Chain A
Amino acid sequence: MDITNLKAWEIREKILNKEISSYEVTEQFLEKIDEVEDEINAFITIDADRALDEAKKVDEKIAQGIEIGILAGLPVAVKDNIMTKNLRTTCASKMLEKYIPPYNATVVEKIKKEDGIIIGKTNMDEFAMGGSTETSYFGITRNPRNKSIVPGGSSGGSAAAIAANEAALSLGTDTGGSIRQPASYCGVVGIKPTYGLVSRFGVVPMSNSLDQVGVFGKDVKDAYLALKSIAGFDPHDATSSKRAKLEELNFDEVSLKGLKIALPKEYDELRVKGDEKIRVVFENSIRVFERNGAKIEYVSLPYLKYALETYYLISTAEVSTNLSRFDGIRYGHRAFEYKTLDELYINSRTEGFGEETKRRIMMGTYALSQGYKDEHYKKALKIRTLIKNDYDRIFKDYDVILSITSPILPFPFDSVINSPVDMYKADTYTVPVNLAGLCAISVPMGEVDSLPVGLQITANRFNEKTLFTAAYGYERSANDEL
């Protein structure tokens, strides 16, 4: 039996019922990695030996009847911008090619505490900047659904690892869609939780006011299980919330009946050329909600149309300072040749960072510079507040907002990447969620031209329970209707 095909929650039950050992599970996933990794390249680093050791320990615990965590024996792939003690963490950059962290991110500690098995570190766009995983220093990741197509990004490796059965669950980070878009492209479920639900301690920031750690799974229940393990207040992260807790949800009792759904009409104005086929699939999924008793209404969020520009001003400004610490002095890449201190900085950073990273650092530095700061960075902060206010108003009357996850289909390598602005436009539906600190999930809603497309469901801050209710209700109904 190929256990890697199963959902994480199914594997978990088999381990708990002692149908299969944790060791065997890890072994099977490692075999799968061996089999497909040459082609997929979802991982930057695979930690096979340690994973097997850890799996053995879980088996011992089970044998001794010691209470085990909720991820007991499940192989988890971790995006390579999340610190893992004594396990190389590169951010897919030459800058950190050889960086071995001396500490674990809080989310990694939590996974270990819940007896999850960290199987390896996944590929991504360099420092999480990009939507195709093509900016990685460690080569491209192929979409398991179609090998000539990108997996999306920036958490492309984590999404591909799930789609290719290389891990039971995976962690990603989402700053403007970096979990939801690759989930959509790879045909898996990906959730970006509310800002403050999951600790960012030990997660290399891209844009620290927008970043949030989230998870990938084969289905909604998997995503719930994974998120449950990492959610919670962390005293080491001042932005993590004291109310951070994922509420219990009885999936058997989930119903879409009476769910109040909002459809922002501004999304019609923001349409991207060529999204017609995706729109058709989206209309069909709205009908699924309707047929199951949800109420759907059109609403207006007037400031939504400025979200993309706002996002790119704030995120690049934050990128520019967040990446300042990579200066070649204490760790990371240091240029071989330099004569002065300035040259040490300039040469190290010129050599260590890739093109997209440098582009964003420069944009952000510009947005913060004297004479430009007021009309760029500061104005963007104001519009961000207005966008937040728009959402707050909508969520007084509605439970969730529906949209497509990405307005463009998963694309071939070397295509969109050559036009940064088109790449940025692919984030149209995902970035407003980060600006407002909301939670959102992407669930598969069908296919266009044999490529997966995702449905994005958005809920209010710390309303993950409603989000999972809507997502699971949809997933179950859509499957039933097949």
Chain B
Amino acid sequence: MMSYKTLVGLEIHVELMTERKMFCNCKNEFGAMPNTNVCPVCLGLPGALPVMDKEAVEYAIMAGLAFNCEIEKTIIMDRKSYFYPDLTKGYQISQSDFPLCKGGFLEIDLDEGPKKIRLERIHIEEDTGKQIHTENGTTLLDFNRSGVPLIEIVTKPDINSSEEARLFLEKLKNTIKYLGVSDVKMEEGSLRCDVNINVIDEERNIRTNISEIKNLNSFKSVVKAIEYEQKRHIEALENGSNTDKETRRFNELTGETILMRKKFQASDYRYQFEADLTPIEIKEEWINEIRTAMPELPDQKKRRFMKDYKLNEYDASILTQSKELSFFYEELTDLVNDAKLAANWVMTDVLRRLKEEDKELSQLNLTPKALAELLDYVKSGKVNNNTAKKVLREMLETGESAKNIIDKQGLIQINDEEELSRVIDEVIKDNQQSVEDFKNGKDRALGYLMGQIMKKTKGKANPNTANKMLIDKINKN
């Protein structure tokens, strides 16, 4: 058995959700009518000049700090030259020798423990326009996206499997969402990922040539592409051959990668200092200001949840896995003042519902306030757990409040012992056989009797009280 090691490095482009574009005053928005958010600067008209948007730099620094990078002291931009119809100036304003953020890492949780994926760099650059190929063969150009600020995050080849890649991307996406600097939607292109992959035959110390995989539109595609490539590279090694250094395109329909172009030599982008943007000094105070204003990140939040809400690590991880969920949980806990109860309900009922319906939390018909109202009934013992679960289902379906549903259907739990006693007596009288069975040691008979009590009370009997009273009464018989 040969031992192969897969090396994956990712290049991730993230569009920053700044108000304005990177070098002009045009609005940065997705989905506007083509060529409406444009001006001489982002259209690359003769004579137009770029001016750096401060917010874009701040967002990029925020990302750098979140990923533990070292922040460069001066922003130096470069021109990256190539010709393409969606590129308005014949060069893209990017960074070459001096990326804004250097080094850094992101930790992913594996079964065997946490693993650090190191970053090479994060640099800032402008996005290009978009080409739209029509059916009659013409190509249309939309420059609304031209000049939108991007960060390019480049990892070291520390990722060794498709699963690690997925975990890394999810963590990265979640962290960026927490920061609020991007909506990181792969389907809208605000998150784009290219994969660099090769395989080492550790025994023979041979490594395949790196393939670069493009056109990955979802995390699933990334996983499938890595798996496909891994196989292709290992097959090459087993055949005693090697892969070529090339760029490949992932085909979503077939799950395969197809050759785009061979890389005979590295492309020469003739990087040149962008003299239209004088170097901007990044003072320590500025970084500190940004750091202070930064929202809490998933790992920090997880630790705080464990400490403040006495949650175990697993629960805390689940509850911080998305920004929305963590905010939902915190708000709920504040309202019901019971961290454990809130955690149980969010982790079981709310998450189950999301999974069943394949929805995001924001698409669910539920606010923390509405759920808190229901949990108050549970906490005070006015409604029992099973009833509450039914109420929640109805709340989600109808959008009605817990109070309305409980009042309308009279679901307040029966705690009154006199009333319960009457019902239990009736049940004992009508089910002598079961009572005998229970006395003879058939525990299941008790469940049946409880079921009868619930049936008679339409599920409203306080289960604990009823259970205790039932056993007492049978024993006294």
Q: Report A-chain residues with C-beta under 8 Å of the C-beta of B45.
A: 101-103, 331
Please report the C-alpha to C-alpha distance between residue A237 and residue B49 in the assembled complex, in whole angstroms. 6
Is the Cβ of A321 less than 8 Å from the Cβ of B90?
Answer: yes
Partner of A201, one of B48, B79, B271: B48
Give residues 316-334 of A contacting B (CB, 8 Å): 317-318, 320-321, 323-327, 329-331
The number of A-B residue pairs with CB atoms under 8 Å apart is 98
Please report the C-alpha to C-alpha distance between residue A320 and residue B268 in the assembled complex, in whole angstroms. 14
Is the Cβ of B272 less than 8 Å from the Cβ of A325?
Answer: no
Q: Report B-chain residues with C-beta under 8 Å of the C-beta of A368.
A: 81, 270-272
Please report the C-alpha to C-alpha distance between residue A96 and residue B45 in the assembled complex, in whole angstroms. 11
Please report the C-alpha to C-alpha distance between residue A203 and residue B47 in the assembled complex, in whole angstroms. 4
Query: B314 on the interface (CB 8 Å rule)?
Result: no
Give residues 111-136 of B contacting A (CB, 8 Å): none
Q: Report A-chain residues with C-beta under 8 Å of the C-beta of B266.
A: 370
Is the Cβ of A369 less than 8 Å from the Cβ of B270?
Answer: yes
Contact with A along B269-307 (1 / 0, CB 8 A): 011110111100000000000000000000000000000
Query: B50 on the interface (CB 8 Å rule)?
Result: yes
Is the Cβ of A239 less than 8 Å from the Cβ of B276?
Answer: yes
Known contacts A101-B45, A101-B46, A238-B277, A365 near B270 by CB under 8 Å: yes
Is the Cβ of A235 less than 8 Å from the Cβ of B51?
Answer: yes
Is the Cβ of A238 less than 8 Å from the Cβ of B46?
Answer: no
Is the Cβ of B47 less than 8 Å from the Cβ of A204?
Answer: yes
- Size bracket, chain B contacts: 20 to 34
CB distance from B357 to the nearest CB of A (A): 46
Query: A205 on the interface (CB 8 Å rule)?
Result: yes
Is the Cβ of A324 less than 8 Å from the Cβ of B50?
Answer: no
CB distance from A197 to the nearest CB of B (A): 14
Query: B88 on the interface (CB 8 Å rule)?
Result: yes
Q: Report B-chain residues with C-beta under 8 Å of the C-beta of A81.
A: 47
Please report the C-alpha to C-alpha distance between residue A323 and residue B47 in the assembled complex, in whole angstroms. 11
Please report the C-alpha to C-alpha distance between residue A373 and residue B271 in the assembled complex, in whole angstroms. 9
Is the Cβ of A208 less than 8 Å from the Cβ of B276?
Answer: yes
Is the Cβ of B47 less than 8 Å from the Cβ of A239?
Answer: no
Partner of B83, one of A202, A239, A324: A324
Is the Cβ of B51 less than 8 Å from the Cβ of A236?
Answer: yes
Contact with B along A188-205 (1 / 0, CB 8 A): 000000000000111111
Query: B52 on the interface (CB 8 Å rule)?
Result: yes
Please report the C-alpha to C-alpha distance between residue A452 and residue B89 in the assembled complex, in whole angstroms. 41
Q: Report A-chain residues with C-beta under 8 Å of the C-beta of B273.
A: 209, 381
Give residues 44-86 of B contacting A (CB, 8 Å): 44-52, 79, 81, 83, 85
Q: Report B-chain residues with C-beta under 8 Å of the C-beta of A122.
A: none
Residue of B nearest to A209 (CB): B275
Is the Cβ of B46 less than 8 Å from the Cβ of A99?
Answer: yes
Give residues 225-280 of B contacting A (CB, 8 Å): 266, 268, 270-273, 275-278
Residue of A nearest to B51 (CB): A238
Please report the C-alpha to C-alpha distance between residue A399 and residue B47 in the assembled complex, in whole angstroms. 34
Q: Report B-chain residues with C-beta under 8 Å of the C-beta of A285.
A: none
Is the Cβ of A103 less than 8 Å from the Cβ of B40?
Answer: yes
Q: Report B-chain residues with C-beta under 8 Å of the C-beta of A235.
A: 51
Contact with B along A350-370 (1 / 0, CB 8 A): 000000000000000100111
Q: Report B-chain residues with C-beta under 8 Å of the C-beta of A330.
A: 43-44, 88, 141
Q: Report A-chain residues with C-beta under 8 Å of the C-beta of B88.
A: 325, 330
CB distance from B66 to the nearest CB of A (A): 28
Q: Report B-chain residues with C-beta under 8 Å of the C-beta of A237.
A: 49, 51
Please report the C-alpha to C-alpha distance between residue A239 and residue B274 in the assembled complex, in whole angstroms. 11
Is the Cβ of B85 less than 8 Å from the Cβ of A324?
Answer: no
Partner of A204, one of B46, B90, B91, B276: B46
Q: Report B-chain residues with C-beta under 8 Å of the C-beta of A91.
A: 46
Is the Cβ of A96 less than 8 Å from the Cβ of B46?
Answer: yes
Is the Cβ of A327 less than 8 Å from the Cβ of B268?
Answer: no
CB distance from A4 to the nearest CB of B (A): 30
Please report the C-alpha to C-alpha distance between residue A325 and residue B85 in the assembled complex, in whole angstroms. 10
Q: Report B-chain residues with C-beta under 8 Å of the C-beta of A89.
A: 46
Is the Cβ of A327 less than 8 Å from the Cβ of B90?
Answer: yes
Give the interface centre of B81, B141, B273, B276 by most chain A CB atoms within 10 Å.
B276
Residue of B nearest to A368 (CB): B270
Please report the C-alpha to C-alpha distance between residue A381 and residue B273 in the assembled complex, in whole angstroms. 10
Please report the C-alpha to C-alpha distance between residue A321 and residue B40 in the assembled complex, in whole angstroms. 17
Partner of A329, one of B47, B51, B85, B270: B85
Residue of A nearest to B81 (CB): A321
Contact with B along A103-120 (1 / 0, CB 8 A): 101000000000000000
Contacts A96-B46, A237-B51, A238-B277 known; list 6 others, CB within 8 Å: A101-B46, A102-B40, A200-B49, A205-B276, A325-B88, A326-B90
Which residues of chain B have a CB within 8 Å of any CB of chain A? 40, 43-52, 79, 81, 83, 85, 88-91, 141, 266, 268, 270-273, 275-278
A selection of 7 A-B contacts at a CB cut-off of 8 Å is A83-B46, A89-B46, A201-B49, A202-B47, A208-B276, A324-B91, A325-B44
Which residues of chain A have a CB within 8 Å of any CB of chain B? 81-83, 89, 91, 96, 99, 101-103, 105, 200-205, 208-209, 235-239, 317-318, 320-321, 323-327, 329-331, 341, 345, 365, 368-370, 373, 377, 381
**7 tightest A-B contacts by CB?**
A324-B90, A209-B275, A368-B270, A202-B47, A325-B89, A370-B268, A204-B46
